[in-house]
């Protein structure tokens, strides 16, 4: 999977949100975020990097306006990111991660019950397939 920096990820989030979008729309969306203070050239550089990495592609060109779409879906990116995180920090064990997260993050009883409920739903769905 493509390695995406934190800054590039902010651009990807805008593209995933719109499906297809222009650099002007990306810049407008990013300027509305409180934590982003990049100028036009910085955002264009991030877009170019994502193109070179193959994370996005140009789907249309009209005059000087390009329309981009993601090559990598948000779901695929998140799944790969989580897999890599689990391999690096938890020897690939989602169980170890969930237990530590539930203990260390002081999740409320309601949140822990919700996680358990969602896991029960997944178990039922898988059992229904078999």
Residues 77, 123: Cα–Cα separation, whole Å: 24
The structure's pTM equals 0.79
Ranges of the chain whose pLDDT falls below 50: none
**Full 3-state SS string of the chain:** CCCCCHHHHHHHHHHHHHCEEEHHHHHHHHHCCCCCCCCHHHHHHHHHHHHHHCCEEEEEEECCEEEEEECCCHHHHHHHHHHHHHHHHHCCCHHHHHHHHHHHCCCCHHHHHHHHHHHHHHHHHHHHHC
Task: Write the pLDDT tens digit of every residue in 66-101.
Answer: 999 999 999 999 999 999 999 999 999 999 998 888
Second-level CATH architecture of 6-70: Orthogonal Bundle (1.10)
**Domain regions of the chain by residue span:** 6-70, 74-129
């Amino acid at each position: 999977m493509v390695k995406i920096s934190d800054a590039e990820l902010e651009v990807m989030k805008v593209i995933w949100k719109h499906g297809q979008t222009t650099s002007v729309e990306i810049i407008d969306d990013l300027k509305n975020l409180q934590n982003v203070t990049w100028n036009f050239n910085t955002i264009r550089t991030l877009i170019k990097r994502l193109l070179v990495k193959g994370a996005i592609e140009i789907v249309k060109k009209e005059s000087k306006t390009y329309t981009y779409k993601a090559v990598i879906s948000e779901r695929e990116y998140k799944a790969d990111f989580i897999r890599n995180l689990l391999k690096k920090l938890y020897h690939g064990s989602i169980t170890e991660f969930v237990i530590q997260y539930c203990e260390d993050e002081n999740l409320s009883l309601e949140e822990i019950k919700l996680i358990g409920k969602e896991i029960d739903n997944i178990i039922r769905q898988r059992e229904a397939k078999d």
